[in-house]
Each structure stands twice: as structure tokens, then as C-alpha cells.
Chains A and B, each alone.
Chain A
């Protein structure tokens, strides 16, 4: 009665691959629009504003929704034609409430383990193990209805982990949590990724969270792919050199721009992009030529929040 194994997937093959994937609701709403993306293992953040199409994309990948166009493969399985096989290897933590209130955490997680096909003894062991891992072992016999929001989120995570999936899909896992609860949940997710060696796709509209936890980042907006890359590439590409001079700031900015550097102003500072040739020599030479003093020369990097919210950054600087 054992079930088919995971198909042979090359270690370099993408974990998730979509081609021209679309989902339209009625005639008006295009939630996912010709999205083609390849996501490899590790912890991947799926970022977009509310309504960007994150939850729709996740539901398509889980086989809960049919796409209206294109195709998607997860763990080598087609999301439309190979749903039952695919779902054995997926763990899903939805954004919304999904827990019965009058059942204990241990009974619920054990039940979910059995629904995932684990034999009774293995299900009991795994349920106890994951509840310990998420920090609910002491409270496991209490009805879920008596839990705090943070504890309920942990039960949701535990049920997603209990059958030892290859890919864990977390939809806004920190929703409704206070700052401390958020920190704890993010640490837990990071630990799951590293200790269980599980690939994770985590959606969030908060870039700060993604930056803390993820190795890769997929950004979508209006259902379309904006960018897909590693977190480090994102951050590197946004490195800047902050320059403060004693006078003639605008003239220096003009000269650097003419030499091919991308220069922006942030208060009294000039911010010179560092994604190409290092600008240090050019800044030194132009400042010397203009006979102005260099008061500050400092390498900075935007965090991910800044990358996607330039207006807010400028407003903050002013």
C-alpha cells in the first residue's frame, strides 16, 4: 500500500516552474498574468502588495485552483494532471484561520498526519516531534480554541510539517502576530529550513521579513513577475556610495552623471549607485578638480523595503 516515490528530479532542476501561467476570475480580474518563473530549493520569498496575486499563485501551485492558461510544475509534477501525487510532498500553511477550536493540538496534528498517509505509530511520533519543534509540546493537550494567535499559527505550521513534506508553502505566516510573535515565527521558519532541510516558499507583503528569512526572492505585482533573484543579488545591486562635499554638490552630481554614474540626491548627500564600475576614483578626481572638500564617503546599502518603496525613502530623508 506504499505510494509512489518522488520523481527523479535533477538537483539543479527548478523546484517550481511556471510557464505563461494565468488565472482570470470572470472577465475583469486577471489575478496572475502570463507568469513564467523558475524557483530552486532553499527558502524563497514570494513578495507583492496585497492583491498582487500571491495567494492565487500559491493555490494554483497546490492544485487548489485551476489556472486559466499556461502550465506549472512543482517538484516535477504537473499541478493539473498529477495533483494527488504532488500533494503527498507538499505542506501548506494557509493565511486564514483553518483550525477547529474544540480539538487539542495533539489530536489535530495527529489526524492531519494520518490524512497525509502516515501509519498510526509514525503519525503519533511525528505529531509529538513537530509540536515539540514549534514549541507547543507542553500545551499540546489544550483545546486549540484556548490558544493565543501566535500559538494557533504554530499549530498551523506543525500540521504543515507533520508529514515531512519536500516543499513547505507558507502563506503570510506572520499575519496577525505582534512584533515578538513575528520574530519567533520567522526564527522558527528559518530553523525549519535549515534543520529539516526543507524547501520553503513563503509569501509576505513585508519585505523586511523576507530579507531576514529567505535565500531567494520572487517579486510579483498585478499578477506579473517583476523580478526573481537571490536576496544577495538584490541587495548587491542596490549598494550605493553616499558622498558629502563642502560645496558645489550639484556640479559634482552633474560631472558624475556625465561620466556614466547613476546619481540621486538624498538630503545633503549624493547617492552614487555601485552596480557597475566602483565610483571611488571618479568621486575623488572630480572633487579635487572642483576644489571642494570631501566630508563623507560612505558605502551604504538599501534594505529590501527601500528597493520597493523609493518614495518612502526619499520622504524619510527629507
Chain B
């Protein structure tokens, strides 16, 4: 008996998801990926530790802040894992074996994007849920806290989905351009850091309309702006977002564009790749 296309995509997605965390790979691959995933949980654990000993209601870190706090860890995670799950197949020329089977090139892209997005979502969602549940348990009225904060669940899920998809797609699109792991890692890091810095510099130096849209250049600016918009949180008065003064929905639209365009480029790259 042979199972259908959905099963085949799921099989590759599951294999690649394990590869993201270095399972079935070298010890170094495991240590880096799992280590970064653990580091991303530390702020939530610290907050829960504080909540356990401090008076009720003390929240230094909230779910809407979480992406901003761990964004650099997520970039490092992407930079190390994206070349591993997409460049490796080009480097070892295993792509020939995949594409001579009942797996189309689009299925391959779907599975790879799915695996890294899910891994990122897992890394980002777990601490936010921990915060939500931990604060509830640490307080005097657990059910009351949950009832009061249940509406945070939708922005937590929406923000995590947006961050996971955007970062996975951009990292994989960059990593798919070369089979050289170190180069891909460097370019992924460089893209996120340089364009984020550029956005921040421009929003400080420009004025008028240019200043308003400057943060759209920054992938972190776009994601953080989207998360704040999803949580319906007004940015801090001194923050870049207040200086720019752009409505949050524009960051969300930019996030969609930042996901769809690289995704199209990734599909195109794999369609044209000679095996």
C-alpha cells in the first residue's frame, strides 16, 4: 500500500522538524539548536520565578513583550537551522532522490517551510503560554486571572504564527541560494541585523513621511509592530513606533508581504534548481 501526497509531505516535514533540533545529527547540531531554544525560555522562567516570590500582579515581562526580548535568539536559531534543513540537501545532492520520487518541488518547499515555522512557533509559543499559565497559578485567583486574560490567547497565537512564518520563509529563501552552510548562516544573520539597524537609524534621522515608513525596512520592526497591533497595545512614548507614528495594521500588511514575496522566490528557486 502506498499513502498519498499529504502523507509524503508530512513525512518530510516531520523528518526536517527533527533535523531542526539536531535529532539524528551531530552533537554540535543538537547543542546549538536545543541550547538556543532553551535560552528563549529563560525570560519567561525568570518572570515566573519573580512572580512566585513577589506580590501578586508584578509583571516585568508580558506576552506582548516576549518577541522583542527573544528576537535575537530567534534569529540565531534561524541562521543555524535554515542552512541545515535546506542547504544540506543541495550540498549532498539528496534533492535528486527526493525529486525522482512522488514528491513535487512545491511539496518539498511546503514541508521545509512547515518544519522551520513549527519549530520557531514552538520556541516562541511555549514561554508565552508559560507566562500566562504561570502568572495564573502564582496569583491568588487562578481562574479569575485566566478569565481576565483569556483574550490574550488570540494575539499570542496570531503573533507567534506571523513571526514563525515570516522568519522561517526569509531564512529558508536566503539559505536556499547556496549550499555553503557558513555563508548562508552569515547572510541570514546579516540580513536581519543590518536591516533592523537600518530601520532604527532611519526612523531617528529622517523626518516626515520617510520617517513614518522607515521601520517597514526593518524585519524586527515589522514583526514587533504587528505583535503590538495584535495585542492592541499602545507603544511606549519614547519607542521607535511612537516616533514613526504609523498605524499598526501597516506593520501587519508589511509582515504579510515579507512572507509572501520570499515564499514565492523560494518556490521559484526550487522549481528552477537543476538536479
Contacts and interface: CB of A to CB of B under 8 A. Distances in A.
A63 B104 CA distance: 11
A1 B6 contact: yes
B155 to A, nearest CB: 36
A2 B2 contact: yes
Interface residues of B, number: 28
B93 A2 contact: no
B150 interface: no
A107 interface: yes
Given A64-B275, A115-B12, A84 B94 contact: no
B4 A102 contact: no
Contacts, number: 89
Interface in A83-140: 83-85, 87-88, 90, 92, 94, 96-103, 107, 111-112, 114-119, 122
A118 B8 CA distance: 9
Nearest to B14: A114
B237 interface: no
B267 interface: no
Contact of B102 (A87, A98, A99): A87
Contacts of B25: 102-103
Contacts of A90: 100
B29 to A, nearest CB: 8
Which of B3, B12, B101, B103 has the most chain A CB atoms closer than 10 A to its own CB? B101
A97 B88 CA distance: 13
A83 B12 CA distance: 19
A228 B41 CA distance: 66
B99 A64 contact: yes
Interface string B87-131: 010001110111111111000000000000000000000000000
A219 interface: no
A84 B3 contact: no
A98 B93 contact: yes
A98 B11 contact: no
B102 A88 contact: yes
B92 A99 contact: yes
Interface residues of A, number: 34
B1 interface: yes
A189 interface: no
Contact of A94 (B6, B7, B97, B103): B97
A159 interface: yes
A98 B88 CA distance: 11
Interface in A208-266: none
B96 A94 contact: yes
Contact of A2 (B3, B88, B97): B3
B93 A117 contact: no
B2 A102 contact: no
A93 B79 CA distance: 32
Contact of A117 (B4, B15, B99): B4
A1 B3 contact: yes
Given A107-B24, A115-B11, A117-B7, A98 B1 contact: no
B100 A2 contact: no
B268 interface: no
B249 interface: no
B4 to A, nearest CB: 5
Contact of A115 (B6, B8, B93): B8
Contacts of A3: 2-4, 102
A128 to B, nearest CB: 17
A57 interface: no
B101 A116 contact: yes
A98 B104 contact: no
B247 interface: no
Contacts of A163: 2, 101
A126 to B, nearest CB: 12
A2 B1 contact: yes
A72 interface: no
Contacts of A119: 1, 3
B96 A117 contact: no
11 contacts: A1-B6, A2-B2, A3-B2, A3-B102, A63-B100, A98-B93, A102-B26, A112-B101, A114-B15, A116-B102, A117-B8
Interface of B: 1-8, 11-12, 15, 24-26, 88, 92-94, 96-104, 275
9 tightest Cβ-Cβ pairs between the two chains A and B? A117-B2, A114-B11, A92-B100, A1-B4, A3-B2, A98-B93, A117-B3, A88-B102, A100-B92
